[in-house]
């Protein structure tokens, strides 16, 4: 998928504003520069960054109500999906927290946050910041069962866990739900027909 095709989807299907697209372009430029030194994302995905990383992250806006509440991204890495979701967010009262243990990646995220005046908070160890959140998102963070455990441990209240997974989503769900069962649904990814989005509803 060409970059302009992705931008068209972002604007026409996911309601990203022109200003947000411009900010994403700036973010991508900063990331590609930093990637030469730190390898934040695989070099093999740089040419497809709009499709592989931006759109993959952006599709999650369909499952989040930005009119109220807050969101936490576990293991933000280079900013996917959390930074993309923070850029999309238009509500100053909707709080976005990006958790990343790497000091180098945190410094990069903080630089981008300041440069683009993004309404987000960059944090380190997730266990040092128990979160009062409505949504927890995760992409390439840990195995699903570990993400579920972390999500339950750090969240103070009922919330939705949204996880981007590859073609083994069904098998991952079986392993994760051996001991306990949770209400969940599977959504198709728009970036890869074999990938899924797992949405788990945790009640407290």
Where do we find the tokens 């509440």? 69
101, pLDDT greater than 60: yes
R_g over Cα of the chain: 16
pLDDT band at 176 (very low <50, low <70, confident <90, very high): low
Segment among 152-156, 164-168, 174-178 with least mean pLDDT = 174-178
Q: What does the block give as tokens for 112?
A: 């981008």
Domain ranges (residues) in the chain: 3-202
Q: Between these two residues, 144 and 73, which has the higher pLDDT value?
A: 73
The CA-atom distances, in angstroms, between 36 and each of 30, 31, 72, 105 are 10, 9, 28, 13
Segment among 17-31, 57-71, 92-106, 171-185 with least mean pLDDT = 171-185
Count CA atoms within 13 Å of residue 119 on its CB side.
16
180, pLDDT greater than 80: no
The pTM assigned to this predicted structure is: 0.92
pLDDT band at 173 (very low <50, low <70, confident <90, very high): confident
Q: Where are the beta strands (DSSP E) in 26-69?
A: none
192, pLDDT greater than 80: yes
| The CATH number of domain 3-202 is 1.20.1050.90 | no
Q: What does the block give as tokens for 22?
A: 């411009």
Q: Which strand (E) or helix (H) includes residue 158? A: none
Q: What is the pLDDT of residues 71-89, one digit of tens each?
A: 999 999 999 999 999 999 9
């Amino acid at each position: 998928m060409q970059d302009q095709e992705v931008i068209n989807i972002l604007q026409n299907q996911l309601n990203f504003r022109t200003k947000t697209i411009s900010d994403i372009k700036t973010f991508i430029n900063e990331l590609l520069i930093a990637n030469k030194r730190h390898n934040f994302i695989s070099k093999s995905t740089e040419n497809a960054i709009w499709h592989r990383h931006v759109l993959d992250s952006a599709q999650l806006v369909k499952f989040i109500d930005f009119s109220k509440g807050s969101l936490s991204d576990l293991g933000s890495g280079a900013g996917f999906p959390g930074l993309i979701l923070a850029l999309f967010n238009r509500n100053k009262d909707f709080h976005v927290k990006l958790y990343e243990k790497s000091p180098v990646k945190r410094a990069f995220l903080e630089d981008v946050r300041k440069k683009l005046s993004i309404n987000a908070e960059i944090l380190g160890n997730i266990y040092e910041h128990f979160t009062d959140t409505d949504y927890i998102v995760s992409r390439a963070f840990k195995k699903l069962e570990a993400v579920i455990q972390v999500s339950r441990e750090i969240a103070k209240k009922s919330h939705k866990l949204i996880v981007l997974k590859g073609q083994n989503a069904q098998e991952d769900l079986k392993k994760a739900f051996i001991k306990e069962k949770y209400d969940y649904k599977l959504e198709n990814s728009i970036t890869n027909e074999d990938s899924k989005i797992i949405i788990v509803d945790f009640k407290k």
